[in-house]
Amino acid sequence: MLPTVYILDDDATTAKLLSAVLDTSKRVQSEVFTAADAFFERCAEAPPAVVITDLVMPDTSGIDVTRRLREMDPFLPIFVLTAHGEMQSAIDALKAGATEYLTKPASQDELMTLLGRALEERPLREEAASIQQERRKEFSLGAILGSHPKVEEVREFVRRVAAIPRPTVLLLGESGTGKNLVARAIHYSSTHSAGRFVEINCSALPAHLLEAEVFGYQKGAFTDARETKRGLIELADGGTLFLDEIADLPFELQSKFLNFLESRRFRRVGGTDEIAVSLRLITATNRDLDREVRDGTFRADLYYRVSVASHVLPPLRDIKEDVSQLADNFREVFSREFRKHVTSIAPEALALMQDWHWPGNIRELRNVIERALIFTDGDTLMATDLPELGGVGAADPAQPAGASFPIPTNLSLADSEREYIRHTLELFDGNVQRSAESLGISRKNLWEKRKKHGLP
């Protein structure tokens, strides 16, 4: 059956003419309506493949018709017919969701080309939207795993701030606790998330480059400024600006930033015009901002501004009940990625993970499992696949044969760390470089730990 085109026009002659043109193409069939009521009744009964509507009608307007149809079907191709001099209304129709406007009298060629394209594109548009939907799911609340009450609190926080149009949010927590993940979740689960998610790490650039990057610059502002460049703030207009590692925001930029937060207006570097934006601001740091304020490296007034709504993400050692769920998730992720069939985690391996203190938090857990999945060939992740957690008889290529470290069960965490380091140093004949590599820490870190434990 041919796709059906509904034509709505109070002028019956125009409508019938158009209908005849379409029908002779033999690519579509058409039905004519001269009143909105009958038209919508028919749409509800038998949805059209395409709608062509006039712009100005006595009982309704093409813009209202478009709006109503869009609510019913977000992908329906809608064409609006306009007469000369109706340019502004044509633009309004596009804003209301029309696919295209046609100037009367539309030529048959043009009409058929547009219709053909709209019908072809529809499935593509639907697919793109479903990918977008997936992306939304991937990055939104569902991405925050864990059922510990503290994690539930994190999700509740995300829900609350995502419901406010332009919140200023500060995310705190140790490295690897999920600050970036939560920032994205706030953006993607917000009902106002049409805009972009723009991220910048304040520690990544020296002050003058960071300023140019964030605020943009006017042509001629400095030697290299050959073109006017929009800053990240402008790109994030209508969406989210995520300033990561806010504690590293250079002192000389802090007051400029504070001004922006207070007025929601700014000037590009070298620019004279004030530009107003509306965005959601999220900042994050794993440092103790309170202390930075006391030390005078972070402005107190800026601190009060950015910390309007703040939340501390829990370290993994405080939510140990979730280790198993997280570990299982990462096992599945990397099993798929590496095309392996690791379908479970052995109870002993899980016990090791539950006993570990996870200084690198969820990122460390993720890395440990990724590494284990690279080396394992079985279908179960074993304790021996986790040498960095003291897995027995581990097949670690960085260690000589027989390098297993039987972890003594009666020792405290600190004592077993000391014993593990002592064991590793002995194994590599005191070679610091190789021992540090095997332990997965830096030489400096190893040196500090030896000092702490009084190891030679």
Ligand X SMILES: Nc1ncnc2c1ncn2[C@@H]1O[C@H](COP(=O)(O)OP(=O)(O)OP(=O)(O)O)[C@@H](O)[C@H]1O
CB nearer to ligand X: pick between 155 and 434: 155
For ligand X, the binding residues in 170-209 under the rule CB under 6 A are 173, 175-181
Shortest Å, Cβ 415 to ligand X: 28
Write phi, then psi, for 309 (nearest 5 degrees).
Answer: -125, 110
CB nearer to ligand X: pick between 228 and 286: 286
Shortest Å, Cβ 171 to ligand X: 8
446, 451, 410, 413: which is closest to 428 by C-alpha?
446
Q: Which partner in Mg ion, ligand X, none is near 173 (CB below 5 to 8 A by kind)?
A: ligand X
Binding status of residue 17 toward ligand X by CB under 6 A: no
Shortest Å, Cβ 310 to Mg ion: 15
CB nearer to ligand X: pick between 331 and 366: 366
Shortest Å, Cβ 302 to ligand X: 20
- Which residues, including other chains, have CB under 8 Å from residue 151's CB and lie 6 or more apart? 144, 145, 314, 319, 322
- The helix (run of H) or strand (run of E) holding residue 139 is helix 108-139
Is the C-alpha dihedral spanning 79, 80, 83, 85 positive or negative?
negative
Q: Which stretch binds ligand X (CB under 6 A): 2-10, 107-115, 141-149, 372-380?
A: 141-149
CB nearer to Mg ion: pick between 49 and 186: 186
- Strand 4-8 to 29-33 pairing: parallel
- Strand 265-266 to 275-276 pairing: antiparallel
Task: Specify whether the CB–CB gap between 65 and 8 falls below 8 A.
Answer: yes
Is the C-alpha dihedral spanning 256, 262, 266, 272 positive or negative?
negative
CB nearer to ligand X: pick between 89 and 240: 240
CA 364 – CA 359 distance, rounded (Å): 8
Q: Which partner in ligand X, Mg ion, none is near 200 (CB below 5 to 8 A by kind)?
A: none
Shortest Å, Cβ 421 to ligand X: 24
Hey, how many other C-beta atoms are within 10 angstroms of the C-beta on 281? 23
Which residue in 187, 268, 366, 418 binds ligand X (CB under 6 A)? 366
Shortest Å, Cβ 148 to ligand X: 10
Placement of tokens 């920032």 in the chain:
183
Q: Which partner in ligand X, Mg ion, none is near 268 (CB below 5 to 8 A by kind)?
A: none
Q: Which residue is nearest to ligand X (CB)?
A: 178
CB nearer to Mg ion: pick between 283 and 435: 283
Binding status of residue 144 toward ligand X by CB under 6 A: yes
Rg (CA), the chain: 31
* Helical ranges in 140-189 per DSSP H: 149-163, 179-189
CA 190 – CA 113 distance, rounded (Å): 38
CB nearer to ligand X: pick between 50 and 362: 362
Q: Which partner in Mg ion, ligand X, none is near 325 (CB below 5 to 8 A by kind)?
A: none
CB nearer to Mg ion: pick between 103 and 180: 180
Number of Cα atoms under 13 Å in the Cβ half of residue 298: 20
For ligand X, the binding residues in 345-364 under the rule CB under 6 A are 362-363
- Residue 226, exposed/middle/buried by CB under 10 A (0-12, 13-18, 19+)? exposed
CB nearer to Mg ion: pick between 29 and 201: 201
Shortest Å, Cβ 179 to Mg ion: 5
CB nearer to Mg ion: pick between 361 and 438: 361
- The helix (run of H) or strand (run of E) holding residue 424 is helix 413-427
CA 409 – CA 72 distance, rounded (Å): 64
Q: Which partner in Mg ion, ligand X, none is near 231 (CB below 5 to 8 A by kind)?
A: none
Shortest Å, Cβ 246 to Mg ion: 11
For ligand X, the binding residues in 272-331 under the rule CB under 6 A are 286
Task: Specify whether the CB–CB gap between 3 and 28 falls below 8 A.
Answer: yes
Shortest Å, Cβ 217 to Mg ion: 27
CA 350 – CA 353 distance, rounded (Å): 5
Which residues are at the interface with Mg ion (CB under 5 A)?
Answer: 179-180
62, 49, 76: which is closest to 11 by C-alpha?
62
Shortest Å, Cβ 123 to ligand X: 32
Q: Which residues bind ligand X (CB under 6 A)?
A: 144-146, 173, 175-181, 286, 362-363, 366
